[in-house]
Every structure is written in structure tokens, then in C-alpha cells.
Structure 1
Amino acid sequence: MPKVSIIMPYYNAAEYIFETVECVINQTFKDWELIVIDDCSPAPETAEVLRKVKGMDERIKVLRAEQNGGAGLARNIGIREAQGRYLAFIDSDDWWYPTKLEEQIKFMEENNYPFTCTWYEDANERLEPYYTMKQDEKQTFKSMISGCNIGTPGVMIDTKVLGKKYMPALRRAEDWGLWMMYLRETDYLVTYPKALWKYRHIPGSETSNKWKQMKAVVAMYQQVLGMNPLKAWMVCTFIFLPKNILKKLKKVA
């Protein structure tokens, strides 16, 4: 069995996926499987692209969702099929440094941390970094209610300790919802204080639409945390918005 299962949803990302898969293959830690899940991508080149991806390494599996359900539900298919003790995630347009898995697993095993993330670099389409996103040393269920600056490709979960959980049926903020589920059952999400991957920002992508992002936050508050609509919008407007979206806009400016 592979020690690490890496989950990658795929949707119309032919321009970037080969570079992303290469960064996985180039990891110094070799005991992994990569599970790519096609979320019913409509692009005509999809079948050929994923055929080539599967042929890049024998540790790569390609699955297909029965219907388009968003990245979260696609990831759930991968989580269900995962054989590794550790769950890791990467999106089809992001990039890991070669020692990402090696360093993070060593950090977890030496300290008995079952739930960790790493710093990352915001980068442009050419993967040129312009900002390092640093998380707090430890985050709790309570502290993460106000916002989540944890990129999914930096998270790793020890399923031998915490078990498998699945992302909520949300189109956005589904990863944040999953972290909140885990934090209900463990004290901390612990940060490895080094940038081990790059988050490629693509103009016009879903995450660049701030209004959609706010609605997604409200939906997560309601579905995962059980808030009523009024409370969810109040927390989003007066706690999440100033701490996250406005802060990021100032950073970019």
C-alpha cells in the first residue's frame, strides 16, 4: 500500500495539469499514489489529456465522477478510493516544491501531529511568487470560524489517527468545511513554517470572484456549523470579510 494518497480533482485544466503532475513525480518522497478525478470536464481534449496523465507514472490512477459536482465531491471520490495512511491534496493547476511530502511527513511523524498544513506562495500564472502566505502556528475549531487561509494543497491528514472524512456538498468553501469537521475531533491543525508549494492565481477563476466567495462562506457556516442564515451573514460580514477579503485586497494593492 502507498504511504500517501494524493487527491487531485480535474476540470478543464489541460494547460497546467502536466506541470502539476510533474511536480508530484519529482517528489523526493516516492511512496505515493496520485488519484486524479475528472469532474465531467466538457473540454474535447479531456480524454486524451487524462490518458497522457495516466501514462506519466504507474502510481497514477484516473477516475471519473458520474456527474459534475464540483471539486469537493470529486475529491470525495478520491478519498473513498485512497489506500494510503496519509491524505494529501493538490489541485490540477498548483505546484509543490520537490521536498514537500518528505518534509511534511517527517514533521508529522517526529511530533505526532495528525493534521498539518504548510505555508505557501501566492504566484501568478507563470508560477512567479509575489507573496508568502503564513498561517498561525496552531489553529483550533474556534479560531478557524473567523476565516481559513489554509490552501488545500498544503494540508495532510493522518487517517490512521483521525480516520477518513468527506467534504460537504458545497461548490465552494468545501475544503474549509472539511477542516472544521476534523477540528471538532482534534485539538489543533499545526503549521509547518515553510513555503512548500505555490498557489497559481488565474484571472477570472472561481476564487477570484469575491461575491461568490462570501456566499460560499455563508453556505459553509450554515451547512457545516449549523448557523441560521442571519447569524451566518452577520459572522461573514463583520468577522470574515474584514479579516480575509479586505485584507487580501489591500495586500494586492
Structure 2
Amino acid sequence: MHKPKVSVIMGVYNCQDTVEESIESIIYQTYQNWELIICDDASTDGTYEKVLPFTKRDPERIRLIQNKENQKLATSLNRCLAEAKGEWIARQDGDDLSVSTRLEKQVRFLATNPDYDVVGTAMTVFDESGTKGVRALASEPDRKVLARGTPFCHATIMMKASAYNTLNGYRSVKTTRRMEDIDLWIRFFAAGMKGFNLQEPLYLVREDEAAFKRRKFRYSIDHAWLVLKACWILKLAPLDYMYVLKPIVRSCLSPTIMRFYHHRKLRKSVIKRSAIRDE
């Protein structure tokens, strides 16, 4: 029986145009001791039918499960975790891509740095018009980051299965809809765990026009509540409570302004990385 070192978990919903390429980016990894568990969250397009042939091609390593009704990402990922057999768990989204050396480099990091519970990577942002830039987070984020943003790009992570077990996976409740990663990181730091971000962009994230249109005000309220929760549980500084308002203010901005904001951030990241290489 196949005993994978890495379990890649993927929750998919209505991504029939991208899911095949996403799966292939795992299939063609330089590191091959993996399994891929995909949970279709009751897609209403042809996503399930697009994934099914891959399970027939490699049934030992690729498995497909399906929710009878749409239950959002946290529930889908928990179903994948229940099936996972690997020592390490990697994430992947159905509309994104992994660079061919991604798993190899994350496995190497966790194998040689056992004190860390998770490793993320920088990621290249792209849309229908091409590559837009690289998004990289701090190499060693701490709990204070959660007031201002996220410590890890969720879709890029590889985490110890034992850490997921300790945290009981994702919480699937109203306040974590579309914010299941922020809730996970609050509990992650509260448990005394630590992680690292590789600065090499080993993941390609699709951030197209639809991504900005999907953002809804109620999700911003959820996000603000989680920032407040992070400040309280992790005993952050009093000034950090000011950042509770940030998600709400952002939600009031138009998609055009948000695109401009993210474009400027990516541009600054590119300039900064170029300056570091030139030193």
C-alpha cells in the first residue's frame, strides 16, 4: 500500500476551467512521495467531472470526495484531513499552481528544521493578463502579525500532520467563513507553535477580477471579529486593537481602488526584492 510522506489537500468549488492544470502542477512535482485528496464542495459546474479522470489514472495517490451540499472551505479541508495519511500536509487551491520544486523544498525545510510546525512560501500573483508580481511575507512571523494581516499565505503552506491534529483542524462556524486560515493561526500561536516562510515564490496564486467581486461586507465583519479575538487571546498591545477597523474600512473601498492598492503593494515588493539582489 502507498504510504505518502506528504498529503496535499485541495477543496474545490466551481473551478472547472482551472482545476486540471492545478492538479497537474502536483503530478509533475520533483518530489513524488505524495497523495492528493480533493473534496468537491457540491460544485454546480463540471469541476467534479474534470477531476474524476485523474483518480482513475492514479487511484493509489489521487482521491476525490464530494460534499452533498455546499459547506465552504473549512469543512471541505477537514474532510480531506480525515482521509490524509501523510506526515506532512500541504495545501493547494483548485485555481492555483505549484512550482515543480515546491514540495521538495518544503519537505527539505521541515526535515532539517524539526522545531518548526509549518512552512509557507512567497507566491507569484497572476491573472488573465499575465504575472503581476510577487507577494512575500516575513520569514519568521510571530503572533503580533495577526493584528495587521496574515502570517502565512494559507494556500502555500505545508504543516505537520501532528500540528493539525493538535489544533483539531479547521473550525467550520459562521465567523470563520472565508477566514478559516486566520482562525487557524490564532490557535496556532496560542498553542506555542512556530512557522517559517520561504522567500522563494514556489506558488502561483490566481487573483483575477472575480476575486475582488467575491469580497462581501459580512466577511469583513467576520475578519474584524477575528482580529479582535487575536488581540485578546494572544495578549497583543493596546494599539493593535486599532487594526480591528482595517477589514471594515477596506470593504468600503471600490474594487478599482483595491486593485490599485494591491498593485502598488506588489510593485513595492518587486522593487524591494530587486534591491536585495543588487546588494
Same fold (TM over 0.5): yes
Report the 3-state secondary structure (helix = DSSP H, G, I; strand = E; otherwise coil) of the residue aligned with 2:209: coil
Misfit runs of 4+, over 6 Å: 222-227, 245-248
Aligned CA RMSD, in angstroms, stands at 3.0
> 1:185-211: CA deviations, max 9, x gaps?
234221112110110112123675264
CA distance in 2 between partners of 1:125 and 1:54 (Å) = 28
SS in 2 for 1:195: strand
Residue 52 of structure 2 corresponds to which residue in structure 1?
51
Identity of aligned residues (%): 23
What SS is found at the alignment partner of 1:98?
coil
Residue by residue, what CA displacement relative to the aligned partner does 1:29-52 show, whole Å, maximum 9, x if unpaired?
Answer: 111110000111122x34422322
- Greater C-alpha radius of gyration: 2
Q: Tell me whether 1:171 sits opposite 2:185 in the alignment.
A: no
Residue 21 (structure 1) aligned with residue 23 (structure 2) = yes
C-alpha separation in 2, matches of 1:154 and 1:81: 20
Aligned residue runs from structure 1 range 195-214, under 5 A: 195-205=201-211, 209=215, 211=217, 213-214=219-220
Alignment partner, residue 180 of structure 1: 186
Give SS of 1:84's match.
Answer: coil
- Work out whether residues 19 and 47 of structure 2, in 8 Å CA contact, stay in contact via their aligned partners in 1: no
CA contact (8 A) 2:225 2:244 kept: no
User: Please, which of 235, 244, 267 is the counterpart of residue 236 of structure 1?
Assistant: 244
**TM-score scaled by length of structure 1:** 0.85
- Tell whether 2:65 aligns with 1:63: yes
Residues 184 and 78 of structure 1, relative CA distance in 2, 3 Å threshold: same
User: Shift of residue 234 of structure 1?
Assistant: 5.2
- What do the CA deviations read for 1:138-195 (whole angstroms, capped 9, x no partner)? 1122322321163222111112456353212232111221122222223422111211
Map 1:221-232 onto structure 2 (within 5 A): 221=227
Rounded Cα–Cα distance in structure 1 between residues aligned with 2:159 and 2:213: 24
Partner of 2:133: 131
Provide the secondary structure at the position in 2 that maps to 1:205. helix
Higher normalized helix content (fraction of residues): 2
CA contact (8 A) 1:20 1:94 kept: yes
One-letter identity of the residue aligned with 2:263: V
Query: Which stretches in structure 2 are left out of the alignment for 5+ residues?
Result: 234-239, 265-279
Per-residue deviation, 1:25: 0.1
SS in 2 for 1:88: strand
TM-score when normalising by structure 2: 0.77
Count of aligned positions? 246
Moved more, 186-195 or 202-211: 202-211
User: In 2, distance between residues paired with 1:37 and 1:148?
Assistant: 25
Point out the more displaced range, 60-69 or 10-19.
60-69
Q: What is the alpha-carbon distance in structure 2 between the residues aligned to residue 129 and residue 79 of structure 1?
A: 32
Contact 2:122–2:200 (CA<8 Å) still a contact in 1?
yes
Specify whether residues 51 and 216 from structure 1 end up closer, same or farther in structure 2 by C-alpha distance, changes over 3 A only: same
CA distance in 1: counterparts of 2:221 and 2:19, whole angstroms? 28
Kindly indicate whether the alpha-carbon contact (under 8 Å) linking 1:129 and 1:198 is maintained by their aligned counterparts in 2: no
